[in-house]
Amino acid sequence: MKISGTSLDLSVTDYGITLDPTFTMLEFDGLRVLPVQTDPLIPGHAPPSVAVPVPQQSSMNLCAICADRATGKHYGASSCDGCKGFFRRSVRKNHAYTCRFSRQCVVDKDKRNQCRYCRLRKCFRAGMRKEAVQNERDRISCRREGQAVGTLTIDVLMQAEAFTQNPSQNLMMRDINSKKIACVGDVCESMKQQLLLLVEWAKRIPEFCELSVDDRVALLRAHSAEHLILGVARRSLPYNDIILLGNDFIIPFRGTEQEMSKVAARILEELVRPLKELNITDTEFVCLKTIVFFAPDCPGLQCAQAVRRLRFQAQVLLDESTSEQRGRFGELLLLLTTLQSVAWQMVEQLQLMRLLGKANVDSLLMEMLLGEEATRGPEALPASESNPEPLIFSTATESVLSRGILTEHIPMHNFTSVILPVPSSGLSEDPLLPTHTGPEVFTHGQAADMPTVHTCL
């Protein structure tokens, strides 16, 4: 049902439209097709999963640059004809625009022509690649598939977050004065709760569940300390000079045990304060958390490439969520180095307190925070030699974490409990496990009263 009518251009044909004779484009002016960027990682990775049906009408039909109606994929991004033409012209003529403002112009259907710099930039950010613009007349056979960024979505992340959050704290922030100051035991208890929640959070992410058991365990172990710090920092955002734990205890800026106060001060100063200044949104937070979570460098990862892709997706999601404010994305990402540093210090502090007998560190904390040599006495000091990198563990030997990683989702009954219920008995055997020939094999039988990563999964 097209307008088959060939262009018998009757209408106003000849009203002397003096067609501009100098209309020639300065073809090839400075055209330089980039030196074949060996398309780095981040390839398409067609969704191999089972159910990824709905391609989202909204996102597929809308131009990723200006939100006008899209006419298909062009140069790697779903876009309208206008942005398609604009991108081609810009690349062909090797245009270098400049923004008259502060390079954070809004680019939508109405305003897309107001700043070419910001429009072109958004084209690139939306996934357009200049390599996809072909040379003038000829056509290159390359039918490269544009990268479908991935399957990770903000929605899924936000839901996972909602499922694993303590609603009572969210709804009413009761008077701070009524809360008790945490002792070391309270802190450890809170950490344990939060780690269990982290496991539950991860299980809500389909892409995580598709990984192998070993990889899931490795990811959960790798950066758990950072998740604890990140979570506590976010929870403390509404308050001043106070850290609010997940179990409703608080750590004041000053006035706790000496050991805690150092870390607490850094959390407040180096994390809570910048996050307050940035006024981080929920969306941004879950993206950050996901970026931390899918750490491709953590040792023992079989499928590091898949994890890298997932982090890439999360990173791009964050970028897209923050595009309004110049420099915001970078500031948020740079907080991750601070987060890593603080988490490190916390782990060292915890390690020390355990060795000094000041803290009772149970097996889950041992496994996820201090390394896997849990259930041992504090005989071996993990000095520089034995554990040069506290946050990243050498291999994914099975242990507490290994058990239960295959467990089904446990519905959180009305969110009333902060602690996750211990996985229902049943399937305790995991035939897949002993892939690794870890030097030490432990057997943890006390899953009921001593949750571990494996039992939680």
Partner DNA sequence: CATGAAAGGTCAAAGGTCAT
Partner DNA sequence: CATGACCTTTGACCTTTCAT
2 forms part of the interface with a second copy (CB under 8 A): yes
Taking the complex as a whole, the smallest distance from the CB of residue 145 to DNA amounts, in Å, to 7
Task: Say if residues 307 and 296 touch (Cβ distance below 8 Å).
Answer: yes
- d(Cα 141, Cα 134) in Å, to the nearest integer? 10
By CB under 8 A, residue 96 contacts a second copy: yes
Alpha carbon distance 261, 254 (integer Å)? 6
Please work out the total of residues on this chain that contact DNA, with binding judged by CB under 7 A.
47
The angle at the Cα of 230, spanning 226 to 232, to the nearest 5 degrees, equals 120
* Region binding a second copy by CB under 8 A among candidate stretches 110-118, 206-214, 361-369, 446-454: 110-118
Residue with tokens 């262009």: 7
Per-residue x/- track, 350-389, a second copy (CB under 8 A) = -xx----------------------------x-xxx--xx
133 near 95, Cβ under 8 Å?
no
The whole-angstrom separation of Cα 80 and Cα 89 is 14
Only one residue has tokens 């003096």, namely 18
Count of Cβ atoms closer than 10 Å to residue 432 Cβ: 13
Half-sphere exposure of 23 (CA within 13 A, CB side): 4
Q: State the binding partner of 440 from DNA, a second copy, none, CB within 5 to 8 A by kind.
A: none
Indicate which single residue of 25, 28, 94, 135 sits in contact with a second copy (rule: CB under 8 A): 135
User: CA 155, CA 153: separation in Å to the nearest integer?
Assistant: 5
Which has the closest alpha carbon to 303: 207, 399, 441, 402?
Answer: 207
Q: Is 178 in the site for a second copy (CB under 8 A)?
A: no
Rounded to an integer, what is the distance from CA 332 to the centroid of its chain?
12
Q: Does 97 bind a second copy (CB under 8 A)?
A: yes
In whole angstroms, the minimum distance from the beta carbon of 214 to DNA comes to 34
Residue 445 in tokens: 């039988």
* Collapsed DSSP state (helix, strand, coil) of residue 386: coil
Q: Which is nearer to DNA, 48 or 357 (CB)?
A: 48
432 contacts 397 by C-beta, under 8 angstroms: no
- Tokens representing 125? 């950010």
Q: Which is nearer to a second copy, 25 or 432 (CB)?
A: 25
Distance set, CA 382 to CA 351, 356, 370, 396 (Å): 8, 13, 9, 18
Please, which residue, 19 or 449, has the CB nearer to a second copy?
A: 19
> Of the listed pieces 89-97, 251-259, 289-297, 380-388, which binds DNA according to CB under 7 A?
89-97
Q: Which does 396 bind (CB under 5 to 8 A by kind): DNA, a second copy, none?
A: none
| Residue owning tokens 């899209």 | 70
In eight-state DSSP terms, residue 414 is G
Which residue in 16, 37, 38, 137 binds DNA (CB under 7 A)?
Answer: 137
Number of residues that bind a second copy (CB under 8 A): 112
- The 387-426 site mask, x for binding a second copy (CB under 8 A), equals -xx-xx----------------------------------
Residue 22 touches DNA, criterion: CB under 7 A = yes
Nearest Cα residue to 261 out of 156, 181, 329: 181
State the nearest-atom distance from the C-beta of 299 to a second copy, in Å.
9
Q: From the list 82, 252, 299, 438, which residue makes contact with DNA (rule: CB under 7 A)?
A: 82
Residue 125's binding partner out of DNA, a second copy, none, with CB under 5 to 8 Å set by partner kind: a second copy
Tokens at 322, concatenated? 């923050």
- Pick the piece of the chain touching a second copy (CB under 8 A) from 5-13, 170-178, 399-407, 428-436: 5-13
Measured from the CB atom, the residue of 31 and 410 that comes closer to a second copy is: 31
- Interface positions with DNA (CB under 7 A): 2-3, 6-7, 12, 17, 19-20, 22-23, 41-45, 68, 72-76, 80-86, 88-90, 93, 112-113, 116, 132-141, 143, 146
